[in-house]
Amino acid sequence: MTDILEVDLLAFERGSSEQRRAVVDGVRRSLGTGFVYTRHDLSEDMLDTAYGMLKEFFEHPHEMKQRFIAPESHGQTGYTGLLVETAASSDVPDWKEMLNWGLSLPEGHPLRDRYPHRYGPQVLPEAAVPGITEVLLHFHRAIDELQRRFLRIISVGLGCHESFFDEMTTNGATLTRAIRYPAMHEAPDGSHVWAGAHGDINLITALPRATAPGLQVLIDEHWVDAVAPDGQVIINSGMMLERLTNGVIPTGVHRVVAAPGYTGERYSVVQFCHPTPWTLLNPLSSCITPEHPQRFSGMMSADALDLVLYEINLVETARRVG
């Protein structure tokens, strides 16, 4: 069975040519599973502060949290309650609640005019947790920069210039999501899990930390626990990267389930790295060969995301699951 490997982003950025090649090779091999672990230089204090304030928010009464729902945002900002998001492969909603935020662009910016539900004002619970807005926006920028740096490793591995992803992810529709998974014994029936099996729609996803195990990765038709070593971040590949690479890098299929006998809750914060919505996801020529013919047509990033938002039950006016 293929293993999820550990690599070092800083060795790619600061190391010798040999060290850089080793990191690129490790990322390429590990992303055959859809997942890789990487060392990072994120501030542990920043992570501690963000997680502490998010826990404070989620501990508020349901009525308070509902004040921060953002209508018509399709889960791209604000609060999303329990039993709403649903894996595309399931008709049973996930047992989780979420707080979502991203980048807000000024009025008149063409991206905000064309895609208002992605780039409008962010709905964050400042009234419930004073100071949280500044902390979460700083957190978003820090993880976003980390992901953009990591994409340079992937670019080199694909035979592209190191800066290939820079333009498409500048002002990308990247989303950060804090998730609280309540204790499973509190779920209304036995049909729910924390998060059903799925792949992410975006380019790559970063998971800096979780408070309990639960993430599992599908490798060679087996579910494997994925827990990053201390000081490392989990990175997984999404559907947009699979399309761009003509399937050379597959989507990392995963789920989140409570371990047998575990009776507590779980917190995690993930960030979905997206290109700008007007990016054309056309398979790279370097990934098309006679042995590996083109599998995907071109598709706009915005269209790919909107389809998945419907499939996972986040379009308020068209719920796939009631």
Q: Where are the domains of the chain?
A: 6-318
pTM listed for this prediction = 0.96
Alpha helices, DSSP H, located in the chain: 9-14, 17-30, 44-58, 62-66, 110-114, 116-119, 132-157, 166-169, 239-244, 301-311
pLDDT per position as a tens digit, 203-262: 999 999 899 999 999 999 999 999 988 899 999 999 999 999 999 999 999 999 999 999
CATH number of 6-318: 2.60.120.330
Residue-wise over 118-134: b if at least 16 C-beta within 10 A, else e? Answer: bbbebbbbeebbeebee
Cα–Cα distance, 195 to 223 (Å, whole number): 14
User: Mind giving me the DSSP string for 168-230?
Assistant: HHTT---EEEEEEE--GGGSSSTT--SEEEE--SSSEEEEEEESS--EEEEETTEEEE--PPT
Cα–Cα distance, 151 to 13 (Å, whole number): 12
The confidence band for 1, taking pLDDT boundaries of 50, 70 and 90, is low
Residue-wise over 182-220: b if at least 16 C-beta within 10 A, else e? Answer: bebeebeeeebbbbbbbbbbbbbbbbbbbebebbbbbbe
Q: Is 297 helix (H, G, I), strand (E, B) or coil?
A: coil
**Does the pLDDT of residue 271 top 70, yes or no?**
yes
pLDDT per position as a tens digit, 285-308: 999 999 999 999 999 999 999 999
Burial bucket for residue 227 (CB in 10 Å: 0-12, 13-18, 19+): middle
